Structure 1
């Protein structure tokens, strides 16, 4: 991404980012990711191609921004301050809240983009990377002799597996079941 999202964004920059985010999500609800062109994104967002390329390298870069914007809505910032035994549940709940809040969009996107296709492969990579970042800062390094990075990868992959099972593969789970599945799968580490 050509803009530093950690810097304070101007209202104009945020408005432009929001327009491209909205364009991408609207188009994903209508067609497969592979069928979305930069021209279609620009037309939907109401900006010229030059503006698109001032912000993004390509549509994959915009998609990565969309994942970042959605993850910011998950409010995972307080994860590190929660008790170690509640961190997995806190993270799962935050991600589940985000998926449930966007259930209509997710369903429309799933109609045009299969879970094993490029769109969801991109989402999996993003979620796993984000979960690794979150878990690596939260792992209680004194609780295990294993390297913290390895444990973080294990947690991230397990959380992604449970979320994928419940929300992308269509297995309806209660929150309690979501927690039980994750804790059972993580049982060897905790």
Structure 2
């Protein structure tokens, strides 16, 4: 993305980002990602192509911003302040909250986009990377003999595996079941051999 989201954005820039992400989400409710063009996004958002390219490299770049915008509603807390054994549960809950808060949208989008297609590959990549970022900042470094980055990546992959299974593949799990599945799959890391 061409705009730095960590910098303070003007109201105009925020309106423009909202217009483009809203246009993308509206179109995804009605058709597959692969049939959405930049021209269509510009027409739907009432902005010219030049403005689109001032903000985004391409349609996929806008899609990545849409994940950021949708996840922004799910508040991500500071995991470092949480007891180490609860951090994975909290990270799982944050990602599950994002999916649950957008359940109606996901259902509509699933009608037009295959679960193994580019739209959901992009969403999985976003959630996995967000989980990795969360876990890298809070892995209890003294607890493992493995490199912290490897442990964080493993945790993030397991979180995405269970979230995908429950929310996208239709195996509805309760929160306690989500937590149980994650901890069973992490057992080898959670209880390392001495």
TM-score, shorter chain, exceeding 0.5: yes
In the alignment, does 2:115 pair up with 1:115?
yes
**Structure 2 unaligned runs (5+)?**
none
Q: Which runs of structure 2 are paired with 1:83-122 in the superposition (5 Å)?
A: 83-122=83-122
Distance in 1 between the 2:169 and 2:115 partners?
7
SS in 2 for 1:188: helix
Tell me whether 180-189 or 73-82 shows the greater mean CA deviation: 73-82
Distance in 2 between the 1:63 and 1:107 partners?
17
SS in 1 for 2:8: coil
Moved beyond 4 Å, runs of 4+: none
Partner in structure 1 of residue 179 of structure 2: 179
Q: CA deviation at 1:75?
A: 1.4
Q: CA deviation at 1:150?
A: 0.5
SS in 2 for 1:18: helix
Partner in structure 2 of residue 69 of structure 1: 69
Partner in structure 2 of residue 127 of structure 1: 127
Partner in structure 1 of residue 55 of structure 2: 55
Partner in structure 2 of residue 43 of structure 1: 43
SS in 2 for 1:170: coil
Distance in 2 between the 1:40 and 1:47 partners?
10
Partner in structure 1 of residue 169 of structure 2: 169
Q: CA deviation at 1:60?
A: 0.7
Q: What CA RMSD, in Å, does the superposition of the two structures yield over aligned residues?
A: 1.0
Q: CA deviation at 1:72?
A: 2.2
Partner in structure 2 of residue 15 of structure 1: 15
Distance in 2 between the 1:106 and 1:41 partners?
19
Distance in 2 between the 1:31 and 1:175 partners?
31
**Structure 1 unaligned runs (5+)?**
none
Q: CA deviation at 1:79?
A: 2.3
- Give per-residue Cα distances to partners, 1:81-134, cap 9 Å, x unaligned: 211111111111111111111111000011111111011111111211111111
Partner in structure 2 of residue 160 of structure 1: 160
